[in-house]
Amino acid sequence: MAAKATLHCLTGCAIGEILGMVIGTALAWGNAPTMVTSIVLAFVFGYSFTLFAVRRAGLDFKTALKVALAADTVSIAIMELVDNGIIALVPGAMDAQLSDGLFWSSLLGGFVIAFVITTPVNKWMIGRGKGHAVVHAYH
């Protein structure tokens, strides 16, 4: 269950992260605005996946938003910290272009490491009725 929850969060995070990196790189933004855009979009897409699912289950928007925030905040935050930390630590990754293998390998490698680190955190949270455990009532 924890791996499935982590993969769910990672999917939204990855879409937002990649979109942010593509936007920042394509527009030749500096590292800081590109990273901020990526992080913001990762949270937006991460929350939106859960928000969409619980709204479909019949929750009003305000309640659904509370559920999404409770379910995903810690998971997304850890993933973003790990993923962006990996990218920042890989020499040349922040300056790589969209056509560079280094850009994509560091980004994807960061996702893999973030998944491995976040899954036990999600397992711990689910075991205590927190995180994605709050969403399961609506599936």
pLDDT in tens, 61-102: 998 898 889 888 999 999 999 998 998 899 998 888 888 999
Give the span between the Cα atoms of 98 and 29, in whole angstroms. Answer: 13
Span 21-30, pLDDT tens digits: 889 988 989 8
- By C-alpha distance, which of 104, 86, 83, 7 is closest to 38? 83
pTM: 0.88
- The answer to whether 43 and 20 have CB atoms below 8 angstroms apart is no
